[in-house]
Structure 1
Amino acid sequence: MTVPVWPLAVLNSEAATLPRLAPRSLSGGASISGRTQVVASDAGVWVATLSSIPVTDRDEVLAWRAIEAYCDGRLNAIDVPLPDYEQAYAPFGADLSYEALFAPVSHGDGSYFSDGSGYVSSVIDVTAGGDLALGATSMTAVVTYAPRLQPGQVFSFDHTNKGPRWYQVKSWDTETSAMTFRPPLREAVTSGATLNFDRPTCRMRLRSDDAMRLDLRQPAWGNPSVEFIEDL
């Protein structure tokens, strides 16, 4: 079954906590002396919150309820792209406007698809310079266009089995194109795989069974939030 994508064209948040790599740690509790031993994994897990999503008409209410029905609590995964305004941090040239670069293109008659979305094309062009093993945290990249690639930026790999996953640049050498990133690769990738800086996406689940609770004021108006956690 095809995993659906969160429809930003219909349900786009006005604020977000995206993305955040939450540490995974385990503690045996404190001893009598008060000392605590904590063991942590360097893998972490992605969490995300889409906040203040305008739900103000029939189509938006039904879209929200349809996604809630599909997710069925924490049962089914959904692909979550970064909101549009996160594209301002993509590595395009300083002389360009992200609004113009990433704006959807309409059909020839000026209309869009039924969900309000349009055609999109890639802008940033970066690929893996070699095969990368499961758990890798570094690579040599092949950069065709990414004039402002730098640490802190987020990209995604579209893995064959695990679907799209977010990764964050930790270090970048402009002379050698050597990159380190986190978390460790969720799945091996082959040489030439695309680093998606245009619309980084991650396969996630609802963080709790009631994460899509929708409270509406009459006649049908609300600003709900939804929390996700990476589908591991």
Structure 2
Amino acid sequence: MLPSSYYPIDLFDCEKMDWQVVGGAVEGARSLAADTPDRLPLGRGGLWKCEMSSVFLETPEEYSAWRAIRASLRNGVGRIVVPMLRRPWFAQPGPSAPVPHSDDSTFDDGSGYMGLAIAAELVAHAAHAATTIRAKVAGAEPFIGAEPFTIVHPNARERLYEVSGITEATPIDGGFVYSLEINPPLREAAVGGTVIDFDTPRCAMRLTDSNGMNYEEEIVSFPSVSFIEDLRALMGDDA
């Protein structure tokens, strides 16, 4: 399986960052035949695309990190995990509350898991390509829709989704059990108890353009870069 780099979102400032699910042809300087939506199996939906405009490079640390990431991506062959920059529409942390085990039991002292600021997990199995999931969420303000989240699948790895609708919200101690409509459809089946990460939404991606991280050798540079969701792990083309 291809190793992943991680894009240091806190190191690089940019003028604009845009995330969207693209459902039409993906345009770029090189062919993305393996990633174009018309090649996707039924139910996969569109692809996440992230475009960063005018990334600010000035310090030796910034230039070195940029060059290291560019080298690791090997002209688009490598994979990179790209996090979203936190926005107001993210799930908002609420009163801290422990999340019990999937069978509703807690540890001997009555406590539960306290790892993520927003603790969430699937409460039922969700099939591949599912567009609705049931999730237990604690430590968050009530959802209103559009909240992004990540599930780290065994094979598909880090996959980004967003809440496109809320069909049920049942209050529980410290949170809610939700029935959530999601977009895109689930990239891989997931069992009950699978962790859902609303704190650090991120996605396994690759360069849209093989030359996408080139820049001019100046005192200050402002390169732009575009990433597209990497589907090789989903299509059996992952070495």
Q: TM-score, normalised by structure 2?
A: 0.73
Given that residues 24 and 45 in structure 1 are in contact (C-alpha distance below 8 angstroms), is that contact kept between their aligned partners in structure 2? no
Structure 1 ranges of 4+ moved more than 4 A: none
Q: CA deviation at 1:93?
A: 5.0
Secondary structure of the structure 2 residue equivalent to 1:158: strand
The equivalent residue for 2:169 is 174
The farther-off stretch of 172-181 and 125-134 is 172-181
**Cα distance 1:3–1:223, how it changes in 2: closer, same or farther (>3 A)?**
same
User: 5+ unaligned residues in a row in structure 2: which ranges?
Assistant: 26-37, 96-114, 171-176, 232-239
Give the structure 2 partner of residue 99 of structure 1.
Answer: none
SS in 1 for 2:192: coil
State whether structure 2 residue 84 is matched by structure 1 residue 90.
Answer: no
Shift in Å, 1:231: 0.2
Residue 145 (str. 1) matches residue 145 (str. 2): no
Task: Give per-residue Cα distances to partners, 1:63-119, cap 9 Å, x unaligned.
Answer: 111111110111111000012x32x32222589xxxxxxxxxxxxxxxxxxxxxxxx
The residue aligned with 2:237 is none
What is the correspondence of 1:29-68 to structure 2 with a 5 Å cutoff? 43-68=45-70
Give the aligned partner of residue 154 of structure 2: 160
CA contact under 8 A between 2:94 and 2:139: conserved in structure 1?
A: no
Deviations 1:185-221 (A, max 9, x none): 111111111221111010000001111111243xx21
**SS at structure 2 position matched to 1:21:** strand
Match status 1:136 vs 2:130: yes
Residue in structure 2 matched with residue 13 of structure 1 by the alignment: 14
Q: Deviations over 1:120-150 (max 9, x none)?
A: x621112111111111110111122222322
Aligned counterpart, 2:222:
223
Q: Across the two proteins, how many residue pairs are aligned to each other?
A: 191
Residue identity in the other structure for 1:149: F
Give me the whole-angstrom Cα distance separating, in 2, the residues matched to 1:216 and 1:164. Answer: 33
TM, length-normalised to structure 1: 0.75
Return the alpha-carbon distance in structure 1 between the equivalents of residues 10 and 163 of structure 2: 27
Question: In structure 1, how many angstroms separate the alpha carbons of the residues matched to 2:224 and 2:94?
Answer: 33
Deviates more, 1:203-212 or 1:140-149: 140-149
2:16 is the counterpart of 1:22: no
- Listed as ranges, the gaps of 5+ residues in structure 1 are 26-37, 96-120
- Does structure 2 retain, via aligned residues, the 8 Å contact 1:124–1:145? yes
State the superposition RMSD in angstroms.
Answer: 2.5
Distance 1:158 1:187 in 2: 10
Identity %: 28
